[in-house]
Amino acid sequence: MTRRHVGMSARLIATIIGTLAVVPTCRLASQDTSAIDRGVRIGIVYRPGVRPGLVMLPRKGLDSLRAIIARDLDYSDRFEIITLPGGDSIRLASTPTSGGTTPRKGGRTPGTTSSSRAGGGGAQAAIGALNYPLYQALGADFALDIAALGDTTIATLHDIPRANVRREVRAVLPPTGDPDFRQAVHRMADRVVQAALGTAGIGATRVLFVKDGKVYQIDQDGADQKLVSSTNRQAMSPAWAADGQHFAYMEFQAGKGWLYLQDMATGKRIPVSTTGTALDFTPAFSPDQQTMVFSRATEEGTDLYSINVKSNCCLRRLTVGRFSDNLSPTFSPDGQRIAFVSTRPGLPQIYVMAADGTDQQLFAPFDYGVTGSSNAPEWSPDGLSVAFHRDVAGTLQVFVLDVRTRTVRQLTSVGRNEDPTWAPDSRHLAFVSDRSGYRQLWIIDLETGRIRPLLQISGARLPAWSPRLSEATSTTP
């Protein structure tokens, strides 16, 4: 997350002129034109050669690990994954059949008949023998070789055009059955993306969502769905803290809406101070996690309040709606501004203000009397965009506001699409859609327009995508 809002006004005009000229044409490519489910790529404008080709080198063993990494690289939408003709029949010339054993336990490796003793360990030996011209001919820019050396797993990233090894990513992974195994592999995949492109992947992330009034988490690749709600009371609006170790949510209790802070690892939760006196909802953390801003519904309507969650004090009212409602706050990544929903124009629309409540103004432009209600804003981690949903012809569609130009574009058009949430790479959005016939979570890549279902269960809603999760947070009891 870059924080460059201070003193950027000087450059702003130049930037605006620049983007105005560029944005409309290149953004077209990322529109959701898919009319078919299951993430099948249909009707997407591809620009061949833009995404580097990557080939996963075949090897015996480590199949489950390799499958997770391959899927993370695929789901990053940053590579053109190249399938080798003949699949595994191509063998590296000097791949040794002897070598270190993997630390994996058997039993969780899908679709493999090989023993758990893998033929790895020869990462170094394989390098010299890689047939770079062959892979270049296949269109590959990168080749990834995954092998085990003792208890260390080594992912070797080959730079095909330069005919050398770009990086070796080493990790001591927990055994396959370990609860942290998948997250550890995801983190490895993210380091591979970092090594290839200079920007980390989104493998080690999770999505919180609500189903039947309870909060669940799921890995971004659809694995390891888990209940995180600790009560039977109805919950809504989960929101991550920037460290990925805590989240907040709202719970109906005794006629009020209570806000709770919960520790991801331990499941321990504490009520936010002053909550329980009214209907409090839609919590949002400031990037430094000192402040929580939330909506409070009272006799006067709904308004935004802030509270210091570090010292559990200092309730402040940020908006005074009188005859309008103000709700659903979301911080800019520099913590300086808050986008929110206000009904002051008659219908809910997207507004913005300074974090202290001053300088409130319209954020996402709309045509009075024409544009439908706009709700559920979320500021992208790179600060450049705000995703939200808007009523279009009686149903909801996901839109993205360009923060610098203050122009909006419609991202979805098939079915009802709502409650978008950003991945930490600021190019993927998870959202709720009924395009398959029932409401479930989907993920769209804004650059390629590719859409895939995150999970196949009906009734999932209000998703919240985590930041990149460090080692400590992925260990869950």
Partner 1 sequence: MKSVSLLLMLGLSAATVASSCGKKAPENTAPAVDTAAENQRMRDSIAAAQAEADRLAREEAERVRRQREADSLAALSRSAEEVRNMLASMIHFDLDKSNIRSDDMGALDQKVAILQANPDLRIRIGGHCDERGSDEYNLALGNRRAQAAKQYLVSHGIDASRIETQSWGEERPMVDGHDESAWSQNRRDEFEVISGGDNLRHP
136 binds partner 1 (CB under 8 A): no
> What is residue 302's three-state secondary structure?
strand
What's the min distance (Å) between Cβ of 7 and partner 1?
35
C-beta closer to partner 1: residue 142 or 294: 294
Tokens 């090594």 belong to which residue?
A: 195
C-beta closer to partner 1: residue 332 or 343: 343
Q: Which 299-358 positions form the footprint of partner 1 (CB under 8 A)?
A: 299, 301-302, 325, 327-328, 341, 343, 347-348
Q: What are phi and psi of 390, to 5 degrees?
A: -140, 145
Q: How distant, in Å, are the alpha carbons of 84, 133, 170, 328, 363 from that of 136?
A: 12, 5, 25, 50, 47
Pick one of 84, 252, 289, 334: the residue that binds partner 1 (CB under 8 A): 252
What's the min distance (Å) between Cβ of 298 and partner 1?
8
C-beta closer to partner 1: residue 81 or 236: 236
What's the min distance (Å) between Cβ of 282 and partner 1?
5
Distance from C-alpha of 185 to C-alpha of 165, rounded to nearest angstrom: 21
C-beta closer to partner 1: residue 76 or 229: 229
What's the min distance (Å) between Cβ of 116 and partner 1?
46
Tokens 């095909």 belong to which residue?
A: 160
Distance from C-alpha of 384 to C-alpha of 401, rounded to nearest angstrom: 8
282 binds partner 1 (CB under 8 A): yes
Long-range contacts of 128-133 (CB under 8 A, 24+ apart): 128/94, 129/92, 129/93, 129/94, 129/95, 130/57, 130/92, 130/158, 131/93, 132/158, 132/160, 132/163
- Joined together, the tokens standing for residue 268 give 């321990």
Residues touching partner 1: how many (CB under 8 A)? 34
Question: What is the signed CA dihedral for 466, 416, 380, 347, rounded to 10 degrees?
Answer: -120
> What is residue 12's three-state secondary structure?
helix
- Between helix 181-197 and helix 63-75 the angle, nearest 10°, is 50
The total number of residues shown for the chain amounts to: 477
360 binds partner 1 (CB under 8 A): no
Distance from C-alpha of 215 to C-alpha of 463, rounded to nearest angstrom: 10
DSSP per-residue letters across 359-375: S-EE-S---TTTS--EE
Pick one of 462, 464, 469, 473: the residue that binds partner 1 (CB under 8 A): 462
What's the min distance (Å) between Cβ of 362 and partner 1?
17
What's the chain's Rg over C-alpha atoms? Answer: 24
What's the min distance (Å) between Cβ of 376 and partner 1?
6
461 binds partner 1 (CB under 8 A): yes
C-beta closer to partner 1: residue 192 or 272: 272
Q: Which 189-248 positions form the footprint of partner 1 (CB under 8 A)?
A: 213, 234, 236-237
Pick one of 48, 110, 128, 255: the residue that binds partner 1 (CB under 8 A): 255
* x/- letters, 375..404, toward partner 1 (CB under 8 A): xx------------x----x-x--------
Q: Which 402-441 positions form the footprint of partner 1 (CB under 8 A)?
A: 418-419
275 binds partner 1 (CB under 8 A): no
Residues near partner 1, by CB under 8 A: 213, 234, 236-237, 252, 255-257, 279, 281-282, 295, 297-299, 301-302, 325, 327-328, 341, 343, 347-348, 373, 375-376, 389, 394, 396, 418-419, 461-462
